[in-house]
Amino acid sequence: MHALVFPGQGIQRRGMGGDLFEEFPELTAAADEILGYSVADLCSNNGDNRLSDTRFAQPAIYVVNALAAHRLVLEHPGRYSFFAGHSLGEYNALVAAGVLSFEAGLGLVRQRATLMSKVTGGAMAAVSGMPATRVESTLRTVGQPHVFIANRNSDSQTTIAGDRMQLQLAARAIKNAGAANVAMLNVSGPFHTPLMAPAEKSFAATLRACHFAAGHTPVVSSVTGSVFDPARAARVLGRQIASPVDWVRTVHTLRGAGVTRFEEVNGAILTKLIDGIR
């Protein structure tokens, strides 16, 4: 059984998308209309380093993920029994599953990115070579109240996030406690932490007004680690902004459902994480 998975923010890079924009001109034109600028130009040239700004990075990643998935689904109809996405990638999973249209998903992602960009003064860091339980216990010991677990990515990789100054102190303590590496991430805020609560609150009305269809293929949510229920979509997607991503639980759920093959669009970051989950 196959699952197709979608990465989130942090994978953005100049040149991503390649020939996908020319291959799918109608979807690309629809994206340009919604965004008010050329997504192909943004990805190809990254003028003013805009891909480092979450307002541009999130829509760009979403579009490239969607086009890449569209190509795979056309090439392999009926191949995928499940979809899942890490954080932002969950919107792509919902589009692939027929829960959201491409246009509706992009509209949500655009507003999500704008609201998240308004939460400033934070940062994120990836901790490698240390179990999540040890990372959590170290955070409790160092006593930095505005640093949190943001992503449980694999058995030995966890993302922490929070106030930038406190995060630097926490990162140093975690490295001293035995982590193999602590690396700052290419994001502009303390995503998936309680510090994002203002963005979650502002996004709620938009999510409640959006129509989420039943879909044709199950999606496993990276927030709950269970099969996504469109009836609870507004609550789950709102919660996602200020709550940790539990990718470990998501992968366990997919494997428990019978998935033995994972394919990834737009890179191989999630594939490496999946290989590190037992």
Say if CB 86 and CB 11 are below 8 A apart: no
In degrees rounded to 5, what are phi and psi of residue 185?
Answer: -100, 160
Choose, from 87, 154, 156, 221, the residue flagged as catalytic.
87
Burial grade of 211 (CB within 10 A; 0-12, 13-18, 19 or more): exposed
* Straight-line distance from the first to the last Cα atom of the chain, in angstroms, rounded to the nearest whole number: 18
- Please say if 87 is a catalytic residue: yes
Residue 137's CB is within 10 A of a number of other CB atoms, namely 11
Catalytic-labelled residue, pool 86, 188, 192, 221 = 192
User: Is 215:94 a contact under the CB 8 Å cutoff?
Assistant: yes
Report the C-alpha gap between 135 and 99 in whole angstroms. Answer: 36
Pairwise CA distance, residues 174 & 177, whole Å: 5
Partners of 123 in the β-ladder: 162
* Measured CA distances, 120 to 87, 183, 189, 241 (Å): 19, 19, 6, 14
Residue 146 annotated among the catalytic residues of the structure: no
Rounded to the nearest angstrom, the gap between the alpha carbon of residue 160 and the centroid of all alpha carbons in its chain is 15
Q: Which residues are catalytic?
A: 87, 192
